[in-house]
Amino acid sequence: MTGYRVAVIPGDGVGTEVAAEAVRVLEAAGSRFGFDLSTESYAWGCDWYLERGEMMPEDALETLAGFDAIFLGCIGDAAKVPDDVSLTMLLRIRTGFDQYVNLRPIRLYPGVSTPIETASPETVDMVVVRENTEGEYARLGGIFKAGSPDGFAIQTGVFTRKGCERVIRYAFDLARSRKKLGDGPEVGRVTNCTKSNALNYSMVFWDQVYSSVAADYPEVATDKALVDALTMWFVKKPEWFDVVVASNLFGDIITDLGSMLQGGMGLAAGGNIDPERRYPSMFEPIHGSAPKYTGQGRVNPIASIEAARMMLDHLGEHQAAEGVGSAISKVLAAGEVRTADLGGTSSTAEVGAAVAAEVG
């Protein structure tokens, strides 16, 4: 029997609750679709930091490297550790394992409502491909003359040709395989999320790389939107979008908006992917750790289960991934078992159990 080893980092706040439901569904998928899945849990995060002065051990990446994939609940609790410190853990894994694609599918499941009127299951079907290792997240710069009236800060974005090219190429490959536009001369579309009018070095460079990669994909339509206008178009005409490729920060921002197109943060998932499979990829709900809800069992686990679905797809268990996708779909469409964010009264565990039962 095929076997997978998954490292689980539940993290902070509600991370433990939502990760447990992802694991429950992964296990159900394993027994239904005939693979063995073993998990190892690591209690890294803010409490670990309070005891040991680090978010995870020095050799954490060596530990994680032995796994087929990583599941992350959520990280951060500003009451315990400043956010700019706690996020280093996430960034260390993303960059250390060169997970250069942050893949964020945005789909609206039937039966889920959204505050955005144009959004429906027919109009919302896109994927944001976010650069995940450099750009505005390079953490280069400094604060000078700190605390004095002359104090100033410099934060530098890093855009390498290699870094831009590989993520843009991934986006074009994805559009080619999705065939959202059908079988015509152009089968898909990659929207370049940019800001080259104002960011006259980094984003002009990014645009040039986009154009040179696009030339290799005549069957994929090109498209360009400045990030500010793109947020407007996401709301005004979501059906236009197929694959959107964005730098690290822009991708971060537009996917929170994207989460509202898909019904809220409780449904949005992401994968931190090393497409070359040199290292394990990491899957996570994109919501925060919501410390105020910790232990109440009220947070929606669908985002987490959706991240598990993406993990199965990445591992090559496509049937199981489809099985989980349709189980999510059934539970959401039936509308009986749902958490408070979707207007229901069910607990986190009840939703997880309902999805797992549909899988099994």
Length of the chain: 360
* Cβ contacts of 324 within 8 Å, gap of 6 or more: 25, 29, 305, 308, 309, 312, 355, 359
* CB closer to Mn ion, 242 vs 252: 252
CA distance linking residue 277 with residue 313, whole number of Å = 13
CA dihedral (269, 125, 246, 218) positive or negative: positive
Nearest CB to ligand IPM, comparing residues 96 and 121: 96
- Residue 253 binds to ligand IPM (criterion: CB under 6 A): no
How many Cβ atoms from other residues are within 10 Å of residue 70's Cβ?
23
> What is d(CA 267, CA 287) in angstroms, rounded to the nearest whole number?
9
CB neighbourhood size of 345 (10 A):
10
In the complex with ligand IPM, the residue whose CB is nearer, 87 or 357, is 87
Under rule CB under 5 A, residue 27 binds Mn ion: no
Does the protein bind ligand IPM through residue 78 (CB under 6 A)?
Answer: no
Applying CB under 6 A, does 125 fall inside the site for ligand IPM? no
Binding mask 277-306 for ligand IPM (x = CB under 6 A): ---------x--------------------
> What is the C-alpha to C-alpha distance for residues 358 and 360, in angstroms, rounded to an integer?
5
Q: Which of 279, 255, 264, 261 is nearest to 343 (CA)?
A: 264
Q: Is 56 in the site for ligand IPM (CB under 6 A)?
A: no
Q: Name which of Mn ion, ligand IPM, none residue 87 binds, using a CB cut-off of 5 to 8 Å depending on partner kind.
A: ligand IPM
Instruction: Look up tokens 């995940």; give the residue.
Output: 132
Footprint (CB under 5 A) of Mn ion, residues 231-290? 252
Residue 24: CB minimum distance to ligand IPM, A:
23
Tokens of 308: 């598990």
Which residue's CB comes closest to ligand IPM? Answer: 87
When asked if residue 72 is in the footprint of ligand IPM (CB under 6 A), the reply is no
Helix (H, G, I), strand (E, B) or coil at 205: helix
Which position among 125, 242, 252, 350 is part of the footprint of ligand IPM (CB under 6 A)? 252
Cβ 200 to ligand IPM, closest distance in Å? 24
**Residue 77 makes contact with ligand IPM by CB under 6 A:** no
Among 61, 65, 85, 87, binds ligand IPM (CB under 6 A): 87
Q: Does the CA dihedral 307-308-309-315 come out positive or negative? A: positive
Hey, which bits of the chain come out as E strands?
2-11, 35-41, 69-74, 101-107, 125-131, 135-144, 152-158, 188-194, 220-226, 243-246, 269-273, 281-285
Q: How far is the CB of 153 from Mn ion (least distance, A)?
A: 21
Q: Which is nearer to ligand IPM, 98 or 350 (CB)?
A: 98
Residue 12 interacts with Mn ion (CB under 5 A)? no
Residue 108 in contact with ligand IPM, rule: CB under 6 A: no
From Mn ion, ligand IPM, none, interface partner of 263 (C-beta below 5 to 8 A by class): none
Query: Nearer to ligand IPM by C-beta: 245 or 286?
Result: 286
Which stretches of the chain bind ligand IPM, using CB under 6 A? 76, 87, 90, 252, 286
Which stretches of the chain bind Mn ion, using CB under 5 A? 252
